[in-house]
Amino acid sequence: MFDIVRKHTKVMMFVLFLVIVPSFVLFGLEGYNRYSDKGEPVARVDGRDILQGDWDNAHKSEVERFRQSMPTMDVKLLESPEARYATLERVVRDRVLAAAAAHSKLVTSDVQLARELGNNQAIAALRGPDGKLDMERYRQLVGSQGMTPEMFESQVRSDLSTRQVLAGVGGTSFSSPAIAATALNSFFEKREVQIAMFATPGYAAKVSPSDADIEAFYKQNGAMFQAPEEASIEYVVLDLDTVMKGISVSEADLKTYFEQNVQRLGGQEERRASHILLAAGKTAPAAEKEKAKARAEEILAAVKKAPESFADAAKKNSQDPGSAVNGGDLDFFARGAMTKPFEEVVFSLKKGEISNVVETEFGYHIIRVTDIKSPKQRSFDEMKPELETELKKQQAQRKFAETADAFSNGVYEQADSLKPVADRLKLEVRTASNVTRSPAPGAKGPLASAKLLTALFNPDSVDKKRNTEAIETGANQLVSGRIAKYTPARTLPLAEVKERVRERFISTRGAELAKQEGMAKLAAWKASPATAQLLAASTVSREEAQKYPPGLVEAALRTDPATLPAFTGVDLGTQGYAIVKVNKVVPRTAPAAELAKQEVQQYTRAWASAENTAYVNMLKDRFKTQIKATKPAARTDASLTVQ
C-alpha cells in the first residue's frame, strides 16, 4: 500500500486536497480548532472566548490544590455545580485582570521578575553555597507542575502584571477608626431576648404514618433514598517493592558494599550520661546568665572533689525536672539525640569523667559520662540478608524514576487497557468492586486515595472507560485505574428503605407541625404580648452565635431596634420553630486597646476587599464580560427563614 502512495505522490496530494479543503470551507478553521482543542465557549472577556476545556482544567487544578492542602477533605464537595461555577467565575476574574493589565500596558521587568523569583523559598533552596541556581533541579521543580522554566517565568510575569491592576485600589484603601468603630459596634452589639422553642421531637411523637403516607413521601422524595454511584475497576500499582522484585544483586557487590560501609552498618556507639542543669535560656537577661554560670562553677568544684556525690548534687540543684529526680541520669543515647555542644562534650569524655561547665541554649550543664556501649561488629554472613535488601532498595530508588516514565507513558498511550503496561513492566492488574467517589471506611492503599478516586470518576474515565493518568498515591507509588463497569446513582426500592422513609416522614411532618403551632402562637402573642410564654431573658450576639440554633441570632439582630420590644419567628428547618421576643439593644463592651486595633485592621482589609470587588465588576463591564454557562440555582436554607 505504501509503495502505491510513494509512486503516486501527486495524485494522493490532489485527493487529500479535495477531501480537506471543502471541510475548511464548510466548517472553518475555528471549527477545526474548537474540535481539536477545548470545546465550546463558556464565557467571553474582551472579545476572547474561555472554552469548556479551560474551565475543566482550571477546576481540576483547583480540586488538586484543595486536596493537597486538606487531605481529609471530601473532594466530592468540590464537584458540585456550585463549586464548578465558582471556579469559572475565578477564571473570568483572572482574564479580566489580564485584559486590564494588557490595555494599561502594565509589564513586568526582568528586575521585578528576578526579585520575585528570589523571594520564592522553594527556588531559593535550590541555590548552592556560591549563590548560583542549580538549573537542573529548577527544571525538575517547575516540571513537576507541568511547565518548562520559560512557561513558569511567563506565568510569574503575568501574575505580577495583574497584581498591578489592583494595587492602585487595594494599596490606597483606608478606613477611619470612627467609621470602623461604628460598623464593628453594630456588628458585635448584643440583644436581650426571650425565646420559645417548638422542637421537632415533641411533635414527631404524635405522627403515625400509614403505608400510603410512606409510599407517597417516597415517590415525592426519591432523591433522599439513593444508592451512590459506584464502579467495578481495574488498577495497576507501580512502587518500590515492584521495582525491587526485578533487581538481583551479586555476592561480589554485597561484599564490596559491606566493606565500604562496615562502620556504619555495625551500629552506633551509645553513651550514658548524667547532667546538672542551671537553666538560663537564650532570652534570659545577662545578669541572670552570669548568676547561673557562677552557681554552676561552684557545683562543678564540689562534684570534682567528690565524684560519687554527683547524683545527690543533681537531685538538689539540677533545674531539669525530667532527669533531676533520677540523679541527672539521661540513659543511653547515640549521636544526633542531643543539642550539639552537649553531644560533642559527651562523646569526648571517658567513662567516669566530669566535664567543665557547658553552655547550651538551655543554660549551663555539668556532665558526667557513666557508661559507654560499643556496638558489636557482625560478620558478612550475619548481615547478608539485610545488606541485600538495603542494596536492592537503593538500586530500586534509582531505577524507579526511569520505570515511572515508562508507566506514565504506557497508561496514556494505550488508554483503553491496562494490560499492555502491566505485561511490559510485570505488574499485576488488580480489581475492586463497589468503588465510590469517596474512600470506603477503613480503606487502605491506593483505594484510600481521594486523588485516584477523583480521577476514576472523571467524566472522561466514566464515559469512555479510559485509563486514568499515572496518579501519585504515596511516596514512590504510582497508580493508574480504569472503570470496567459503572453503575450510576439510583433510587433504592421502597422495600429496602421503608424504615428510613418512615423515619424521614415522621421527622419532616413533626417539623411542619412545630412550625404550624409556632406561627399560630406568634400571631397570637403579637396581638396579645401579655399572654406570651417565654423563657427567662438572655443576651445573644454574633460572638456567641454557636450557642443557639442557626438563624436565630441573625433574626434577633436584624429586628429593627426602633420597633422594640418586638416578636419574630424563625424557621429552624428540621429542628422545628422558634419565637424570639427582642426586648432591647445591649451595647457592646468596649474591647481592649490591642483587640480594638486588630479589629480595625480586619475591617480595613474587608473594606479593601470590597473595593477590589467593585473595581473588578467595573472592569467586567468595560471589557464586555459574558458568562454563557448557566448559573446553578441558589439553594434555599430553611433555617434562615424569618416570619
Q: What is the DSSP string of 23-56?
A: HHHHHHHHHHHHHHTT-SEEEEETTEEEEHHHHH
pLDDT at 349: 94
Residue 55: all three cell numbers together = 474551565
Residues 365 and 273 in one domain: yes
Kindly write down the DSSP assignment for every residue of 178-217, as one continuous string.
HHHHHHHHHHH-EEEEEEEEEEHHHHHTT----HHHHHHH
Task: Note the Cα 262 to chain centre separation in Å.
Answer: 44
Residues 272 and 321 in one domain: yes
pLDDT at 385: 80
In a domain, 49, yes or no: no
End of a domain among 586, 607, 622? 586
End of a domain among 570, 586, 602? 586
In a domain, 77, yes or no: no
In a domain, 575, yes or no: yes
Domain count, the chain: 4
Tell me the residue length of the chain: 643
Residues 368 and 434 in one domain: no
Kindly write down the DSSP assignment for every residue of 478-489, as one continuous string.
EEEEEEEEEE--
Residues 475 and 427 in one domain: yes
CA distance 583 to 540: 11
pLDDT at 183: 82
The single residue listed with the C-alpha cell 431596634 is 561
CATH for 351? 3.10.50.40
Environment class of residue 340 by beta-carbon count within 10 Å: exposed (0-12), middle (13-18) or buried (19+)? Answer: exposed
In a domain, 317, yes or no: yes
In a domain, 605, yes or no: no
pLDDT at 440: 82
Residues 344 and 441 in one domain: no
Residue 318: all three cell numbers together = 539540677
pLDDT at 334: 85
Q: How many CB atoms lie within 10 A of CB 353?
A: 13
Residues 278 and 358 in one domain: yes
Environment class of residue 486 by beta-carbon count within 10 Å: exposed (0-12), middle (13-18) or buried (19+)? Answer: middle
pLDDT at 272: 95
Bridge partners (DSSP) of residue 226 are 491
In a domain, 396, yes or no: no
Residues 481 and 522 in one domain: no
What SS3 class is residue 165? helix
CA distance 12 to 28: 23
pTM exceeding the 0.95 threshold for the entire prediction: no
pLDDT at 67: 67
Taking alpha carbons only, the member of 17, 39, 403, 447 closest to residue 230 is 447
- Residue 609 makes CB contacts below 8 A (sequence gap 6+) with 170
The single residue listed with the C-alpha cell 432591647 is 584
Residues 479 and 505 in one domain: no
Contact 355, 345 (CB under 8 A): yes
Residues 349 and 422 in one domain: no
- Residue 465 makes CB contacts below 8 A (sequence gap 6+) with 416, 482, 483, 484
pLDDT at 591: 79
Residue 109: all three cell numbers together = 521587568
DSSP state of 133: B
Residue 565, preceding peptide bond in cis (omega within 30° of 0): yes
286-305 vs 310-317: helix crossing angle, rounded to 10: 150
In a domain, 311, yes or no: yes
Q: How many helices (H) and strands (E) in the chain?
A: 25, 18
Element (H, E) at 514: helix 494-527
pLDDT at 641: 37
Residue 104: all three cell numbers together = 494599561
CA distance 110 to 160: 11
Task: List strands edge to edge, sheet with 358-360.
Answer: 329-333, 270-279, 363-373, 358-360
Between CA 24 and CA 30, with CA 27 as vertex, the angle to 5 degrees is 90
In a domain, 25, yes or no: yes
Residue 292: all three cell numbers together = 547561673
pLDDT at 38: 54
Residue 541 belongs to what domain range? 190-225+493-586
Environment class of residue 332 by beta-carbon count within 10 Å: exposed (0-12), middle (13-18) or buried (19+)? Answer: middle
Low-confidence ranges of the chain (pLDDT < 70): 1-38, 67-77, 79, 128-131, 144-146, 168, 170-173, 262-267, 633-643
End of a domain among 488, 514, 533? 488
CA distance 391 to 251: 12
Residues 306 and 220 in one domain: no
Residues 473 and 546 in one domain: no
Environment class of residue 65 by beta-carbon count within 10 Å: exposed (0-12), middle (13-18) or buried (19+)? Answer: exposed
CA distance 496 to 594: 60
CA distance 92 to 594: 39
Residues 364 and 413 in one domain: no
